[in-house]
Chains A and B, each alone.
Chain A
Amino acid sequence: GAGVSQSPRYKVAKRGQDVALRCDPISGHVSLFWYQQALGQGPEFLTYFQNEAQLDKSGLPSDRFFAERPEGSVSTLKIQRTQQEDSAVYLCASSLAGFDQPQHFGDGTRLSIL
Chain B
Amino acid sequence: GENVEQHPSTLSVQEGDSAVIKCTYSDSASNYFPWYKQELGKRPQLIIDIRSNVGEKKDQRIAVTLNKTAKHFSLHITETQPEDSAVYFCADPSGNTPLVFGKGTRLSVIA
Which A residues are closer than 8 A to B by beta carbons? 4, 33, 40-45, 48, 56, 58-59, 91, 98-108
Contact = CB atoms under 8 A, between A and B. Distances in A.
A43 B100 CA distance: 8
Nearest to B101: A42
A91 B43 contact: yes
Interface in B84-111: 89, 91, 93, 95-104
20 contacts: A41-B104, A42-B89, A42-B91, A42-B102, A43-B89, A43-B101, A58-B98, A91-B44, A99-B93, A99-B96, A99-B97, A99-B99, A100-B31, A100-B32, A102-B46, A103-B46, A105-B44, A105-B45, A107-B42, A107-B43
Contacts, number: 55
A interface, over-half SS: loop
**Chain B interface size, under 10 / 10 to 19 / 20 to 34 / 35 or more:** 20 to 34
10 closest residue pairs by CB, A with B: A42-B101, A100-B32, A45-B98, A99-B93, A105-B43, A105-B44, A107-B43, A42-B89, A102-B46, A42-B104
Contacts of A44: 101
B31 A108 contact: no
Contacts of B95: 99-100
B15 interface: no
A45 B44 contact: no
Nearest to A93: B44
A108 B43 contact: yes
A104 B64 CA distance: 19
Contact of A103 (B42, B97, B99): B99
Nearest to B106: A40
